[in-house]
């Protein structure tokens, strides 16, 4: 079944199940880095929550042999299970005190998202933009987020500084950094663990949840802490919005070689909306700052 026929029939199947209990729409949703994804969006009358089910993954399942009936049933059952009628009261999101403990930062590419940033409170940092989001309680909707816009700040009556301060504090409390060696992941490619560590000393920086972990670069003192840990200047390869790769400066690799490496990784293995940058940065212990290479 081609994709156009698939999405028409899947929406029809879901609407048949929903009846008058929910509105079912097929929408194009702009995502990070200019990526636009098609999704089925379900919303109960008077509800403030409309979860999106992105079609790409479901089409893959269809191509693997799953029936439209099973896919539609699964989407509807997940919607009923995860979206209670009283998820958010009408005035919940209008009050800063209700949401401030679950606001977090996200690091994205500045140039690739310039148009979107016009409507978002953000900070410019290196070649990146720091944007902010509200993370819905995990037991309610797993991994559901709300991107914070300028209109939210006006509604809450707060400044961008207050938003940023709360987000960084929340991240340090709820999403502590994880910094560890990456050679264990390379054992099958390089050989024994010790040989891998000698041939390609690599580390990963993310958070304990391993989502939006590149924002750990913003944590106060984290750059100095990594330098003390590996006892060296180091390169940072922003491999995705979820993590960064850290490589000690040893003379084995030039910044240009590393830039080619991260570009290849982004092109082959990273989803377009999760790409952070095709760039390399160097942390200088002497200057105690990050330098674009």
In DSSP notation, 167-200 reads: HHHHHHHHS-EEEEE-GGGGHHHHSSHHHHHHH-
Predicted pLDDT at 142: 62
As a whole number of angstroms, the distance between CA 9 and CA 28 comes to 17
Coil vs helix vs strand at 54: strand
Average pLDDT, the chain: 88
pTM: 0.83
Residue 89 burial (CB count, 10 A): 10
Share of the chain above pLDDT 90, in %: 70
pLDDT digits (tens, 9 = 90+) for 135-164: 887 555 566 788 999 999 999 999 999 999
Q: Residue for token digits 């050679």?
A: 183
Kindly tell me if the per-residue pLDDT of 103 is higher than 50.
yes
Q: What is the pLDDT of residue 80?
A: 84
pLDDT at 175 over 60: yes
Q: Which two tokens stand for residue 88?
A: 């958010």
Residue 192's pLDDT is 46
Q: Which of 70-84, 224-238, 257-271 has the lowest mean pLDDT?
A: 70-84
- Whether 257 has a pLDDT exceeding 50, the answer reads yes
> Beta-carbon neighbour count of residue 70 at 10 Å?
12
Residue 51 has pLDDT above 80, yes or no: yes
Distance between CA 204 and CA 247 in Å, rounded?
9
- Short-list 149, 142, 91, 84, CA closest to 118: 149
Confidence (pLDDT) at 197: 47
Rg (CA), the chain: 22
pLDDT band at 73 (very low <50, low <70, confident <90, very high): very high
Q: Is the pLDDT of residue 199 over 70?
A: no
- For residues 178 and 193, what is the distance between their CA atoms, to the nearest angstrom? 20
Lowest-pLDDT range, 8-17, 178-187, 204-213?
Answer: 178-187
Band of pLDDT at residue 191, cut at 50, 70 and 90: very low
| Residue 17 token pair | 């199940």
pLDDT at 97: 94
Which has the higher per-residue pLDDT, 90 or 40?
A: 40
Question: Which pLDDT value is given to residue 10?
Answer: 95
Model pLDDT, residue 44: 87
How many of the other CB atoms lie within 10 Å of CB of 98?
Answer: 15
Is residue 196 scored above 90 in pLDDT?
no
Q: What is the mean pLDDT of residues 21-39?
A: 92
- Lowest average pLDDT, out of 138-152, 185-199, 207-221, 252-266, goes to 185-199
Q: What's residue 49's pLDDT?
A: 76
Distances (CA, A) of 278 to 11, 35, 195, 256: 37, 17, 28, 11
Least-confidence region, from 4-8, 136-140, 285-289: 136-140
Alpha carbon distance 12, 16 (integer Å)? 6
Q: How far apart are CA 164 and CA 148, in angstroms?
A: 11
- Quote the pLDDT of residue 189: 40
């Amino acid at each position: 079944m081609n994709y156009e026929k698939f999405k028409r029939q899947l929406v029809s199947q879901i609407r048949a199940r929903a009846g008058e209990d929910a509105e079912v729409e097929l929408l194009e949703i702009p995502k990070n880095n200019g990526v636009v994804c098609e999704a089925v969006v379900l919303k109960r009358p008077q509800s403030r929550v409309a979860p999106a089910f992105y079609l790409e993954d479901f089409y893959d399942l269809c191509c693997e042999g799953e029936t439209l009936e099973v896919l539609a049933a699964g989407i509807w059952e997940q919607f009923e299970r995860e979206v209670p009628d009283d998820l958010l009261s009408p005035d919940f999101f209008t009050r800063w005190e209700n949401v401030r403990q679950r606001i977090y930062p996200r690091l994205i590419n500045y140039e690739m998202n310039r148009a979107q940033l016009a409507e978002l409170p953000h900070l410019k940092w290196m070649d990146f933009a720091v944007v902010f989001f509200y993370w819905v309680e995990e037991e309610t909707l797993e991994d559901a987020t709300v991107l914070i816009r300028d209109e939210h700040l006006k509604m809450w009556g707060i400044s961008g500084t207050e938003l940023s301060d709360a987000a960084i504090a929340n991240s340090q409390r709820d999403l502590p950094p994880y910094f560890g060696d990456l050679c264990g992941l390379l054992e099958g490619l390089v050989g024994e663990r010790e040989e891998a560590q000698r041939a390609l000393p690599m580390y990963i920086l993310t958070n304990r949840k391993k989502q939006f972990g590149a924002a750990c670069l913003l944590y106060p003192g984290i750059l100095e802490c990594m330098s003390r840990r590996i006892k060296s200047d180091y390169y940072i390869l922003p491999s995705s919005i979820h993590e960064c790769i850290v490589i000690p400066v040893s003379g084995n690799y030039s910044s240009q070689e590393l830039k080619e490496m991260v570009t290849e990784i982004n092109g082959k293995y990273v989803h377009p909306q999760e790409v952070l940058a095709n760039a390399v940065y160097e942390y200088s212990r002497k200057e105690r700052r990050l330098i674009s290479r």
